[in-house]
């Protein structure tokens, strides 16, 4: 188990190092100089040069890379070209919205998908299975921004249970949660539909296994066998999908953030790209990579907990 | 008590109008071992599943199943759950997959106890420990916290048996419990089952396709065919009388001896010279030196032109590794393999000149064909090894010839594999090997999955082909009886090395190496009585 953990940790660090180099190179070779973009087309060359040196763009690339990575390691992400504020602060503000939103959406989708997948698998071919499968079909097909607008029309405008958008901050946690509820539901819907289908097919595969028959021969009822022997074995593919979904929810909520006027990470990336605020782009993308890799690491650990056979393997 | 322990009367089972079992009647007494035998699809397993009440939901059942005076047919599903595991225990064929991979063996054995009795987990674990000891898994080597993947097949089967007998059921059903195991392990498991039945006074319903396995285990044998019991009698009487022709046919096929052509004194075709093969193991920690496992150690033998050579040994002995090296699928770590003087693997890749001279037939006649290809396409696959494969009429002629050679019709070329039975598919596999006229065919457990009568036919076909085409065979099998019937010479492999080799008849009559002797002793034998079983 320890060797497995160590191996995964080394893989994690290596992936981060490779990712940082790739991100730095990609952003550097992108056309467009931030200094001339910020000063406009009519700027004098010497003004641009002055700004370039102020922004630290005139030093060699290797040195800039090292400064960037070194800064990040000590928690200093640099200063935004556009807003002239520390990037760490900007990211922290946004993260306080994006992270709870992603977690809430993931929680919702898991809470829907587990029972739904279990019921569909246990009653395969019966009415409830057909119903669940039809619902997941719909869940995958409906665009979530449109679904978000329906939610706003019903719950915010008509019933006035939830605000229609914006974020009041975490001073009043209840208000903050209320503001995140509708976006979380909109984000969770397609994820829940996918997860339900994975859960169902994974369970159905497991139900055909020999050890399920052994469990029945011991005297377990169908339901007990499914619960005691099926679920944990069916978890591996489900965990994989949950890991992928979390990474997606963290950064991919950009459209939903737009619909609900939430100043989240997705919007920050979008704005920074349009304003050529390269160092913000670099830092946020690096942060997202970090999040994805850490989540994958957590998923790997969860695999090992769910399946003892993996603890031994490389 | 009065009456038998288990009394099956006129049991019939149908699935969607198709009759699966027809008026099956069978009695098992306390402490008695009754074997159900017959070929695949004869209804053996269905009878077992009906007894334990685990038939698929859509079947129609009629007749009576009485256990200890209680008619199981009248019970609700809940009552049946109570019977299963407590009054009837069941052991299945595949020990590798019959256990839940994510639960410890202790938890799985204790579960049987926890479901049926009001005990604490702690007490259940103590009882599980006792049961595991009983089936030969002592505490010091097999603590309750072991997981199934840490055990061998035979050890897993012991765990499955422990689960089945944990509550001392009245009846134990064992469905092909040793089919997936090596002969020495098989002998141990059979001994354990016999011992449990005698000392615990259980009834044992033993299901097997292998007459030899039950010949000295069962008190009575029932022979099934097409869902009916065609003959049942005390074991000795059954082998002496064999009143039903089907029983006789099974018996004869089980000890079928293929009529081999004289082995020629020909020059060596395949030379395996001091071959070794290492496999890398996972490092103990990321900076450790990588350890290696030597799967094949200094193996040396020849196969002459037209000679049939057998390779026997138990799982993990290195047979498969050696086979892969001979087929040129893997490089060797040391030594050399040549065919007619040319290396099978040279400068980092298989040598196509040699590959077309060696073909292979695998065990599983179902898994080795792409179901979406026609027979013509499937059996011409080896043509890619030829520099200019035959086209048009030449290609059709080659297909027709290969199909005719294996006893199929040239018209079968347009069909898909699902249209063929297991035996016919194995004929297709042989046709695929034959089509580019190789000099050596490797049969890797090629008849192990076949019923005895089909197996006898395929063995005859192999003998015929060897005679016609002067083919040499390397015949790999765990079934000593089959090896004896089809080979001139035999190699015995243990722990990656060849421990004994010689003329098949001599090795079988006078094994020298202790391991060979252990193998021969463990192999189940048919009694030398009845029929033509001399």
SS3 at position B505: helix
The yes-or-no verdict on residue B352 having pLDDT over 90 is no
Interface of A with B in 229-248 (CB under 8 A): 229, 232-233
- pLDDT tens per residue across span A228-262: 899 888 988 898 899 888 888 887 778 888 888 88
- From the list B81, B97, B100, the residue facing A221 with the nearest CB is B81
The mean per-residue pLDDT over the stretch A17-24 comes to 90
B117 interfacial to chain A (CB closer than 8 Å): no
Nearest CA-CA partner of A225 in A209, A202, A201: A209
DSSP B408: -
Residue A142 and residue A34 in one domain: no
- CATH number for the domain that contains residue B168: 3.40.50.300
- CATH number for the domain that contains residue A267: 1.10.3720.10
**Per the domain annotation, does B479 fall within a domain?**
yes
Residue B100 and residue B236 in one domain: yes
Q: Which residues of A touch B180 (CB under 8 A)?
A: none
For B172, the closest chain A residue by CA position comes to A217
Residue B234 and residue B319 in one domain: no
Half-sphere exposure of A136 (CA within 13 A, CB side): 24
Mean pLDDT check: name the lowest of A7-21, A133-147, B100-114, B256-270: B256-270
SS3 at position A181: helix
Contact (CB, 8 A) for B466 and B439 = no
Rounded distance between C-alpha atoms, residue B94 and residue A283, angstroms: 54
Residue B237 and residue B361 in one domain: no
The yes-or-no verdict on residue A120 having pLDDT over 60 is yes
Rounded distance between C-alpha atoms, residue A247 and residue A287, angstroms: 11
- For chain B, how many residues are written? 534
Residues above pLDDT 90, as percent of chain A: 25
The yes-or-no verdict on residue A42 having pLDDT over 80 is no
- From the list B98, B164, B283, the residue facing A211 with the nearest CB is B98
**Per the domain annotation, does A82 fall within a domain?**
no
Look at the alpha carbons of B396, B402, B408, B412 in this order and tell me if their dihedral is positive or negative.
Answer: negative
**Per the domain annotation, does B288 fall within a domain?**
no
Interchain pair B112, A211: CB under 8 A: no
Got the DSSP string for B90-150?
EE-S-TTTSS-TTS-HHHHHHHHHHHHS---HHHHHHHHHHHHHHTT--TTTS-TT--GGG
Interface of A with B in 8-47 (CB under 8 A): 10
Residue A68 and residue A102 in one domain: no
**Per the domain annotation, does A204 fall within a domain?**
yes
SS3 at position B489: strand
**Per the domain annotation, does A304 fall within a domain?**
yes
**Per the domain annotation, does B287 fall within a domain?**
no
The mean per-residue pLDDT over the stretch A107-132 comes to 92
Note down the domain range covering B517. Answer: 268-280+294-522
Task: Quote the minimal CA–CA distance from A9 to chain B in Å.
Answer: 11
Interchain pair B99, A214: CB under 8 A: yes
**Per the domain annotation, does B531 fall within a domain?**
no
Q: What pLDDT does residue A50 have?
A: 82
Residue A118 and residue A59 in one domain: no
Q: Where is the domain boundary, A42, A73, A104? A: A73
Residue B325 and residue B184 in one domain: no
**Per the domain annotation, does A80 fall within a domain?**
no
Nearest CA-CA partner of A295 in A241, A252, A253, A254: A241
Task: Quote the minimal CA–CA distance from B400 to chain A in Å.
Answer: 40
Structure-block tokens of residue B51: 């007894």
Task: Considering only residues B56 and A128, tell me which one the structure prediction assigns the higher pLDDT.
Answer: A128
A223 interfacial to chain B (CB closer than 8 Å): no
Interface A-B: count of C-beta contacts within 8 A: 86
Q: Which range has highest mean pLDDT (A259-268, B42-51, B363-372)?
A: B42-51
The yes-or-no verdict on residue A32 having pLDDT over 80 is no
Query: Rounded to the nearest 5 degrees, what angle is found at the Cα of B246, between the Cα atoms of B211 and B12?
Result: 90
Residues above pLDDT 70, as percent of chain A: 97
Q: What pLDDT does residue B529 have?
A: 59
Q: Which residues of A touch B168 (CB under 8 A)?
A: none
Report the relative pairing of strands B308-312 and B489-494 from DSSP bridges: parallel
Rounded distance between C-alpha atoms, residue B426 and residue B366, angstroms: 9
Rounded distance between C-alpha atoms, residue B454 and residue B460, angstroms: 10
Residues above pLDDT 70, as percent of chain B: 98
The mean per-residue pLDDT over the stretch A23-31 comes to 77
Task: Considering only residues A117 and B315, tell me which one the structure prediction assigns the higher pLDDT.
Answer: A117
Residue B224 and residue B307 in one domain: no
Residue A143 and residue A219 in one domain: yes
Strand partners, B15: B18, B59
For B117, the closest chain A residue by CA position comes to A219
The yes-or-no verdict on residue A313 having pLDDT over 70 is no
Rounded distance between C-alpha atoms, residue B275 and residue B296, angstroms: 7
Report the relative pairing of strands B59-67 and B6-15 from DSSP bridges: antiparallel
Residue B244 and residue B273 in one domain: no
| Sheet with B59-67: strands ordered across | B18-28, B6-15, B59-67, B70-71
Q: What pLDDT does residue A262 have?
A: 87
**Per the domain annotation, does A168 fall within a domain?**
yes
Task: Quote the minimal CA–CA distance from B211 to chain A in Å.
Answer: 25
Domains in chain A: how many in total?
A: 2
Interchain pair B85, A308: CB under 8 A: no
Residue B152 and residue B215 in one domain: yes
Q: Which helix (H) or strand (E) holds B311?
A: strand B308-312
Mean pLDDT check: name the lowest of A23-27, A90-94, B517-521, B530-534: B530-534
Average pLDDT, chain B: 88
- From the list A210, A232, A313, the residue facing B97 with the nearest CB is A210
Q: Where is the domain boundary, A73, A97, A121? A: A73
For B104, the closest chain A residue by CA position comes to A308
For B113, the closest chain A residue by CA position comes to A218
Residue A276 and residue A171 in one domain: yes
pLDDT confidence bin for A276, thresholds 50/70/90: confident
**Per the domain annotation, does A78 fall within a domain?**
no
Contact (CB, 8 A) for B221 and B233 = yes
Residue A132 and residue A208 in one domain: yes
- From the list B97, B115, B286, the residue facing A219 with the nearest CB is B115
The mean per-residue pLDDT over the stretch A51-64 comes to 79
The mean per-residue pLDDT over the stretch B383-408 comes to 90
Interchain pair A211, B52: CB under 8 A: no
Q: What pLDDT does residue B534 have?
A: 34
For B76, the closest chain A residue by CA position comes to A221
**Per the domain annotation, does A258 fall within a domain?**
yes
Residue A39 and residue A134 in one domain: no
Task: Quote the minimal CA–CA distance from A13 to chain B in Å.
Answer: 14
Q: Which residues of A touch B89 (CB under 8 A)?
A: 217
Note down the domain range covering A241. Answer: 87-312
- From the list B52, B89, B286, the residue facing A6 with the nearest CB is B286
Residue A266 and residue A152 in one domain: yes
For A232, the closest chain B residue by CA position comes to B102
Task: Look up tokens 């900007």; give the residue.
Answer: A90
For residues B306, B307, B313, B316, the Cα torsion angle rounded to the nearest 10 degrees is -30
Residue B236 and residue B351 in one domain: no
- From the list A220, A228, A308, the residue facing B147 with the nearest CB is A308
Average pLDDT, chain A: 86
**Per the domain annotation, does B56 fall within a domain?**
yes
Look at the alpha carbons of B215, B86, B195, B317 in this order and tell me if their dihedral is positive or negative.
Answer: positive
Residue A262 and residue A288 in one domain: yes
Q: What pLDDT does residue A51 have?
A: 78
Rounded distance between C-alpha atoms, residue A16 and residue A51, angstroms: 31
- From the list A209, A218, A314, the residue facing B111 with the nearest CB is A218
Q: What pLDDT does residue B516 have?
A: 93
The mean per-residue pLDDT over the stretch B378-392 comes to 89
Contact (CB, 8 A) for B526 and B519 = no
B97 interfacial to chain A (CB closer than 8 Å): yes
Residue B245 and residue B306 in one domain: no
Interchain pair A218, B163: CB under 8 A: yes
Nearest CA-CA partner of A251 in A278, A291, A282, A293: A291
- pLDDT tens per residue across span B488-514: 999 999 999 999 999 999 999 999 999
A305 interfacial to chain B (CB closer than 8 Å): no
Residue A188 and residue A109 in one domain: yes
Nearest CA-CA partner of B182 in B203, B202, B154, B144: B154
Q: Which residues of A touch B160 (CB under 8 A)?
A: 214
Q: What pLDDT does residue A132 have?
A: 93
The yes-or-no verdict on residue A314 having pLDDT over 60 is no
Task: Considering only residues B232 and A306, tell me which one the structure prediction assigns the higher pLDDT.
Answer: B232
- From the list B82, B111, B282, the residue facing A314 with the nearest CB is B282
3-state secondary structure string across B201-234:
CCEEEEEECCHHHHHCCCCEEEEEECCEEEEEEE
DSSP B67: E
**Per the domain annotation, does B260 fall within a domain?**
no
**Per the domain annotation, does A303 fall within a domain?**
yes
Interchain pair B54, A213: CB under 8 A: yes
pLDDT confidence bin for A312, thresholds 50/70/90: low
Residue B245 and residue B345 in one domain: no
For A4, the closest chain B residue by CA position comes to B285
pLDDT confidence bin for A170, thresholds 50/70/90: confident
For A274, residues 6+ apart whose C-beta sits below 8 A from its C-beta are: none
Domains in chain B: how many in total?
A: 2
Residue A105 and residue A252 in one domain: yes
- From the list A7, A211, A221, the residue facing B99 with the nearest CB is A211
Residue B243 and residue B274 in one domain: no
Residue B138 and residue B175 in one domain: yes
- pLDDT tens per residue across span B446-458: 888 888 888 898 8
Residue A242 and residue A154 in one domain: yes
**Per the domain annotation, does B194 fall within a domain?**
yes
Interchain pair A215, B100: CB under 8 A: yes
Contact (CB, 8 A) for A264 and A97 = yes
């Amino acid at each position: 188990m320890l060797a497995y953990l160590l191996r995964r940790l080394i893989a994690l660090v290596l992936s981060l190092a490779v990712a940082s180099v790739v991100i730095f190179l990609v952003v550097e070779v992108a056309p467009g100089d931030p200094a001339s973009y910020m000063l406009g087309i009519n700027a004098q060359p010497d003004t641009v040069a002055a700004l370039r040196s102020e922004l630290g763009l005139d030093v060699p690339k290797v040195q800039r890379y090292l400064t960037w990575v070194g800064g990040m390691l000590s928690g200093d992400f640099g200063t935004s070209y556009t807003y002239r504020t520390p990037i760490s602060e900007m990211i922290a503000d946004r993260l306080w919205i994006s992270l709870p939103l992603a977690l809430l959406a993931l929680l919702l989708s898991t809470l829907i998908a587990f029972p739904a997948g279990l019921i569909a698998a246990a009653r395969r071919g019966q009415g409830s299975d057909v119903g669940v499968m039809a619902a997941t079909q719909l869940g995958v097909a409906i665009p979530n921004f449109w679904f978000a607008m329906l939610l706003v029309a019903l719950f915010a405008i008509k019933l006035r249970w939830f605000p229609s958008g914006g974020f009041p901050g975490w001073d009043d946690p209840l208000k903050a949660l209320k503001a995140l509820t509708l976006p979380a539901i909109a984000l969770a819907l397609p994820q829940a539909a996918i997860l339900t289908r994975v859960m169902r097919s994974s369970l159905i595969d497991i139900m055909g296994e020999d050890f399920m028959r052994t469990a029945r021969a011991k005297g377990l009822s169908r339901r007990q066998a499914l619960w005691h022997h099926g679920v944990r074995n069916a978890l591996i593919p489900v965990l994989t999908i949950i890991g992928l979904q979390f990474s997606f929810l963290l950064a991919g909520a950009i459209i939903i953030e737009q619909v609900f006027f939430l100043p989240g990470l997705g919007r920050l990336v979008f704005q920074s790209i349009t304003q050529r605020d390269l160092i913000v782009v670099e830092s946020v993308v690096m942060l997202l990579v970090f999040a994805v890799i850490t989540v994958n690491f957590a998923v790997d650990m969860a695999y090992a907990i769910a399946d003892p056979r993996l603890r031994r393997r490389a | 008590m009065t009456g038998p322990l288990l009394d099956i009367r006129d049991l019939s089972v149908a699935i969607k109008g198709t009759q699966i079992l027809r008026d099956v009647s069978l009695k098992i007494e306390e402490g008695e071992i009754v074997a159900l035998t017959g070929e695949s699809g004869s209804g053996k397993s269905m009878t077992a599943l009906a007894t334990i009440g685990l038939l698929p939901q859509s079947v129609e059942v009629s007749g009576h199943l009485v256990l200890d005076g209680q008619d199981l047919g009248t019970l609700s599903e809940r009552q049946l759950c109570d019977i299963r595991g407590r009054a009837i225990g069941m052991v299945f064929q595949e020990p590798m997959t019959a256990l839940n991979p994510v639960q410890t063996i202790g938890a799985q054995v204790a579960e049987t106890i926890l479901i049926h009795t009001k005990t604490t987990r702690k007490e259940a674990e103590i009882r599980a420990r006792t049961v595991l000891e009983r089936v030969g898994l002592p505490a010091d080597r097999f603590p309750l916290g072991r997981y199934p993947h840490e055990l061998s097949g035979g050890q897993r089967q012991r765990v499955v048996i422990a689960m089945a007998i944990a509550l001392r059921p009245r009846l134990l059903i064992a469905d092909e419990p040793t089919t997936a195991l090596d002969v020495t392990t098989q002998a141990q498991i059979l001994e354990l089952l016999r011992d449990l039945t005698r000392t615990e006074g259980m009834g044992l319903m033993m299901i097997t396709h292998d007459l030899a396995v039950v010949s000295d285990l069962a008190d009575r044998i029932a022979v099934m065919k097409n869902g009916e019991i065609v003959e049942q009698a005390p074991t000795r009487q059954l082998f002496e009388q064999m009143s039903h022709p089907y029983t006789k046919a099974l018996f004869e096929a089980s000890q079928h001896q293929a009529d081999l052509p004289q082995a020629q004194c020909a020059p060596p075709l395949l030379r395996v010279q001091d071959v070794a093969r290492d496999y890398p193991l996972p490092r103990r920690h990321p900076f450790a030196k990588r350890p290696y496992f030597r799967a094949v150690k200094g193996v040396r033998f020849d196969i002459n032109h037209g000679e049939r050579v057998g390779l026997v040994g138990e799982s993990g002995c290195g047979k498969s590794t050696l086979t892969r090296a001979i087929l040129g699928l893997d490089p060797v770590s040391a030594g050399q393999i040549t065919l007619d003087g040319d290396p099978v693997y040279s400068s980092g890749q298989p040598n196509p000149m040699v590959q077309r001279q060696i073909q292979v037939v695998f065990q599983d006649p179902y898994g080795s064909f792409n179901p979406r290809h026609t027979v013509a396409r499937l059996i011409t696959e080896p043509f890619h090894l030829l520099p200019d494969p035959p086209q048009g009429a030449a290609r059709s002629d080659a297909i027709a010839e290969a199909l005719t050679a294996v006893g199929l019709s040239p018209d079968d070329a347009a069909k898909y594999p699902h249209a063929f039975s297991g035996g016919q598919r194995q004929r297709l596999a042989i046709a695929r090997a034959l089509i580019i006229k190789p000099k050596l065919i490797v049969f890797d457990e090629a008849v192990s999955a076949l019923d005895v009568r089909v197996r006898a036919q395929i063995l005859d076909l192999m003998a015929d082909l060897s005679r016609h085409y002067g083919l040499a065979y390397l015949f790999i099998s765990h079934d000593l009886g089959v090896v004896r019937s089809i080979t001139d010479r035999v190699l015995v492999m243990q722990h990656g090395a060849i421990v004994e080799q010689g003329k098949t008849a001599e090795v079988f009559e006078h094994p020298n190496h202790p391991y060979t002797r252990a193998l021969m002793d463990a192999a189940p034998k048919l009694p030398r009585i009845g029929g033509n079983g001399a």
